[in-house]
Structure formats: structure tokens, C-alpha cells
A and B are shown apart, each in its own frame.
Chain A
Amino acid sequence: MRILIVEDDAEAGAAMARGLREAGSDVVHAPDGVEGLKVAEAGGFDVLVVDRMMPNMDGLTMVETLRRHGDQTPVLFLSALGEIEDRVTGLRAGGDDYLVKPYAFAELIARVEALSRRRETGAVATTLRVGDLEMDLIGRVVRRDGKEIDLQPREFQLLEFLMRHAGQSVTRTMLLEKVWEYHFDPQTNVIDVHISRLRSKIDKGFDRAMLQTVRGAGYRLEA
């Protein structure tokens, strides 16, 4: 995976680059929006990680310019501005996801992975398939190994998100944001409970568990 990091804080940028390289990605680091725009326009990136507040050209302007020029590379905004309206502004400017500083590195990696996959699933699928797990999006039926699994509407959404990001780590925050559309951090382990319910439905009675817990990050659905 080829990632461009546009971040003016040299140390933070370097740490991020190191972490992402550790995770197996090819990383380029640009120190500001102007440079970032130049590098991004050269193309070839799977995901752009863009800080919002930077000298010379801020992240919003940079992404707006990119989008105006027809570049559709997925963008993850990083920002210390975490209010709802900041998020909305970021997404309106053409961002695909929004991560508020300070963040856990596992969260960053999970979101970058999720974004990189976005492109490949661009075609409108009516059926999702992960291993022997099959989801009929129109009939809203889920089967594993041909056996129908009865899911509540929210469990269906949860599984759909996990299947669309099969093989990738997804964090509790991502699930809370994408499935429930909440942007706060509950004190109790609500997501864990929902996951364990879903797990008992899709994994019970099968000798191999598909829904796995990723230590320190979240969960991953494996084929």
C-alpha cells in the first residue's frame, strides 16, 4: 500500500511514517499543503493522510484542490479540531474519514486500511462473500456454509461493515461511528458485547472462528 502523509509536525509525521512502514506500507512524507499537493498530484497513492492545520496551505484547501482536479484518492483527515462541525467541514471538503488528534496508532492503521479497500469495492455488489460466509444485501439474508443465520437489523449492519472490511482490523470507534453513527466514547464495553453476540451467531457450531479480536485495536473478520 502506498501512503502519502501530509503533516507539518516533523516528529509526528516521521513517527507515523515509521509506524505505517512497520505495518508494511510504502510511505511518503510531505511537510506542508503545497508540497503535499504537488506530490499527491503526481499520483500513485492508495491513501492520503492529511493534517488539517498546516502552514502555506491547509489540509482542507489542499484536498479541495485535489478533488477539483478530479483526483479521487481516499483521504483521511487528521485534526486536533474534533467538534462535529469540524468533521462535517472536513468531509464536505472531500475527506473520506476523519481522525481526531490525539489518536491511537492502531486506530490510524485500521482507518487507512479501511480506506485503501474502499476503491476496490466500488462496484455495486448485491452479495458479499467472505470464506463460507455469504450476505445477500437485497434479500437481507446471511448464510454460513449454506446455513441461514438469523440477525437483528443492527447485527446485519455490523456484519456488513465487517465483511466489507474483511481481513482488515476495524476498531471499536470505527464501528461506533460507521454502524451506530455515534462520535463519542462509551465507558462500558458496548461494542464488545454486540460483537460477542454477533460472534456467537456466526461462529457457534463451526469449528473455525471467523470474527477475531485484534489485541489493542479491535476486531477482524477472517475468511
Chain B
Amino acid sequence: MGLPATFRTNTFRLTLLILALFATAGAAFLGYVYFMTAGEISRLADMSITKEVATLDAIYQKGGAEAVRGAMIERTSIDQPFLYLLLDPSGRRIWGTIPDVPVGQSDERNIVWTHFKVAEARPDGSHETRPARGERQRLAGGEIMFVGADIGDTAAYVNKIVRAIWGGGVLVVLLGLGGGILISRNVSRSIGGLNAVIGAVKGGDMRARVALTGAGDEFEELGSGLNDMLDRLEHSIGSLRHAGDAIAHDLRSPLTRLRTRLEVAMLEVEAGKSDPQAALVQALEDADGVLRTFTAVLSISRLQAAGSAPDQVAFDPGQLAADVAELYEPVCEDQGLEFSSEIAGGLGVKANREFLSQALANLLDNAIKYTPAGGAVMLRVRKRSSGEVEFSVTDTGPGVPEDQRERVVQRFVRLENSRNRPGAGLGLPLVAAVAEAHGGRLELDEGPGKVGAMGPGLRVALVLPRVG
């Protein structure tokens, strides 16, 4: 479109609207001023003319046209500002200072007002035409009397006022337009900054941020809000991308393993060295392993990306823990482990039951997996003095060296001494993700001590914030 960008801005349109309102108000105000000044001057002039007409009419009542003539002559000589003309009933001029009545004589109305021009000789001999105004009156005897006044000075005065009013008006409009353009430019610049950032982000640059000047105004606030939003988005997108990359990466090795095994099995079967059915069973088991890994990675990634576990409800965790304990107790006994549980009642947590159950199951799975026969596993649910609810699983296995504790919470980290055991190294990371998705945390500590030659054991605590 033809208009420059500034004129198309909303701010400029708003300025125009305000300007129009302002101009209307100004016009009303100036009109009032005009009425009270220039208008008043004209009215005063009219009044003096009317008065003079009345005076002369009174003189006529007493002495007729002749007396009026005398009065006119007399009044002219004492430098009255009036212009006179007296005509007899037949329209002949009796006396006057102007050549003719500026209104038609045939007009039957008694009193007629009119504007007219008079030529006045200047001292240098030239003539000047000046505006005048007068009243014609038909006298009782049919004579026509005209009294006018040179309103040149008044008109000039009124003109000055009118010019001042126009000037003021034009100034208001110009200032308004100029101010509007200036404000619009300013606003446009601020919004332009925001738009540039939005454009950059749309274009794929998640790093673009609004430059903040520290002005503390609403644009600053908007920009800062936009920046915060972009930070969150970037973080979320980052987590998702990371999750995607991780899944791709994490599945590559087990899939490669599966493929290699199938290939080797095929070669062996072809060479008659292997049983096809055994190879298929092995392949199925491998595929199941890949699927388990995939499910676990997906759960962790989803929890991490969502930032908060879905479907959280408030409940007493005692029953949930008792159920998980009931599920695992026979497994412990089966593995020659002593199992005990200490579950405090009357606690409250707000959590997703399924995830919390799975987290506890993972902790018990781990404890059972890494504790040699003859050891002990304990599940405890209690309230900490801080008010937080702690779910802990303690074992008497080899434990995790202090400098490794942070590592084992990361995905796919498996310590050297666990390499020969099943698992993908996703148990603890999932528990950590569950803890975080509930606003809690995972703590790893040394266990309570040794049982015989075993220990010092591991104590893993899932700590959830208090409810209410």
C-alpha cells in the first residue's frame, strides 16, 4: 500500500482519532471565543447604530426631516463615527455623507440591516474601500433615513482574531500529527523489536530474544515475558529433541546387537551348526529386550519433557507401599534375602499411583538384583522431620561408591560389577524422573552396614514433598 509504515500503525490511527476529538473540542472552544470577542464587537457596533437611529428618530418626531438633517450635519461636525443619509419620501436625497442607500429603497420593511462598503480618501489621495454596516429606517413621514458606521477597524480586529483562531487550529493539527507520528514511530520501534524476535523464532531461531533496555515500561514487561516464554519453549523443545536423540541412540545398540545375532545365527544355521528354533527364540528374547528398553526410555523422556507427572491424586502411600512389598516379598525370599518393611501410616502424598508404584518396584528390583543371597532388603515409608515423605529401599549389597552415585542415576550407566546382570540401566533413571515429575528427588547413600562379608549396601530414598 502507498502509505508509509508509520501511518498504517494502530498508534497513528489512535493519534488521528484523538486529534479529531481534540480538534472538535478546540473548534468549539475557538467558536466560543469568536462569539465572545469578534461577535461582541459587531454587536456593540450594531447597538450604537440602533441607538443613533433611535436618537434621530426622536428628533424627527419633534422637528421632522429638517431637524434630522440639522442633527446629522451637527453630529457629523463633532466627529461622530456614523455615516448618514436622509432621503425624502420620493427617494430624493436630502442630505448625507454617503451617496446612496446601500439597500434598495423599494424594500417595504421598516428596518433593514445591511453590510456595505464605503470608499474613504486617504491622505495621499487614493481611495480605500472599508467595510461598513448600517440600518435603514423608514420614518413616519415616508422619508428614508440611513445610519451606518465604518466598521473597518472592528473588522480588522475581528479578522485578527479569526486569523489567530485559524492559526491556533492549524498549529493544533500540525502538533497533533507530528506528535502522533513521533509516538507511532516510538511504539513501532518497540513493537518492531518484538516482531523481529517473533519473526526470527518463526524462522527457526529459538535463540532470538528481545533486547531489554531496562526502561521498566510495559513494552519492557512484554519483552521480558516473551523472553521467559521463549526460554521455557526452548527448554521444552530441547528436552524433546534430546529425548528423541536419546531414544534413537539408545535403541541403536540393542538393535545392532539383535541384527548381528540374527546374522550370525543364519550363518550358523546354514552351516548346520545351530538349531533354527533356538536362534528364533534368542531373537525373540532380544526383541523383547529392545521393546523393554524402548518403553523405559519413552517413559523417562515423557516424564522429563512433561515436567510433571499426569493424573496426580492425593492419597496415603502406606497401602501402595504395602502392595508393592507384598509383590516383592516372595521374590526376596526366593533369592535367599531377608525382606522387611516399615510403613508409617497416616501420611499423605500427591502423586500418580502408577508411576509411584513403578518407582518403588524399580527400587526393589534393583535391590534384589544386586544383593547376594544371605543379605537383607528393607522397604521403609516414613515422614521426615522436614515434613517430606520418604520412600527408601535399603540393601546389603556392594553399594555404589560415593563418586559414582550421581552417574548411576543417568540413563544407561551400568557399573562394572553389574555388567553381567540383566537390565539396561534404566531403573534408577526412571525413579529419578518420577521423583522430579512429582517435585521430589532421589537420594543415594551408603547402606546401614555389612552383613557378614557383604556391604556396605545402598540406601536409595525417593523423597516427595509434603501435601497441603
Residues of A within 8 A of B (CB): 82-85, 102, 104, 154, 180, 182-190, 193-194, 196-197, 216
Question: How many angstroms from the CA of A204 to the CA of B236 in the assembled complex?
Answer: 57
Which of A154, A184, A194, A216 sits near B354, CB closer than 8 Å?
A184
Chain A contacts of B330 at CB under 8 A? 190, 193-194, 197
A184 x B311 contact (CB < 8 A): no
Chain B interface mostly helix, strand, loop or mixed? helix
Question: How many angstroms from the CA of A193 to the CA of B365 in the assembled complex?
Answer: 13
- A171 vs chain B, min Cβ distance (A): 12
List 7 tightest A-B contacts by C-beta distance, closest first: A184-B358, A187-B365, A193-B330, A193-B331, A193-B334, A188-B365, A190-B331
Question: How many angstroms from the CA of A83 to the CA of B352 in the assembled complex?
Answer: 12
Which of B281, B311, B326 sits near A85, CB closer than 8 Å?
B311
Instruction: Tell me the residues in window 308-341 of chain B with beta carbons closer than 8 Å to chain A beta carbons.
Output: 310-311, 323, 326-328, 330-331, 334
Which of B288, B327, B357, B422 sits near A187, CB closer than 8 Å?
B422
Task: List the A residue with the shortest CB-CB distance to B298.
Answer: A82
Task: List the B residue with the shortest CB-CB distance to A180.
Answer: B327
B354 x A182 contact (CB < 8 A): yes
Which of A102, A180, A183, A189 sits near B331, CB closer than 8 Å?
A189
> Can you show 20 pairs from A to B with CB atoms below 8 A apart?
A82-B295, A84-B310, A180-B323, A180-B327, A182-B357, A184-B357, A185-B292, A185-B295, A186-B365, A187-B365, A187-B369, A187-B422, A187-B427, A188-B328, A188-B365, A188-B369, A190-B327, A190-B330, A193-B330, A194-B330
Question: How many angstroms from the CA of A187 to the CA of B363 in the assembled complex?
Answer: 11
The reply on B5 being an interface residue by CB < 8 A is no
Chain A interface mostly helix, strand, loop or mixed? loop
Task: List the A residue with the shortest CB-CB distance to B323.
Answer: A180
Most buried by A among B291, B331, B352, B368: B331
The reply on B361 being an interface residue by CB < 8 A is yes
Assuming A182-B358, A184-B357, what are 10 further A-B pairs, CB within 8 angstroms?
Answer: A83-B310, A85-B310, A102-B291, A182-B354, A182-B357, A185-B295, A187-B365, A190-B328, A193-B334, A216-B281
Question: How many angstroms from the CA of A196 to the CA of B330 in the assembled complex?
Answer: 10
- A22 vs chain B, min Cβ distance (A): 15
Most buried by B among A187, A189, A190: A187
Task: List the A residue with the shortest CB-CB distance to B330.
Answer: A193
Question: How many angstroms from the CA of A216 to the CA of B284 in the assembled complex?
Answer: 9
Chain A contacts of B323 at CB under 8 A? 180
- B421 vs chain A, min Cβ distance (A): 10
- A91 vs chain B, min Cβ distance (A): 15
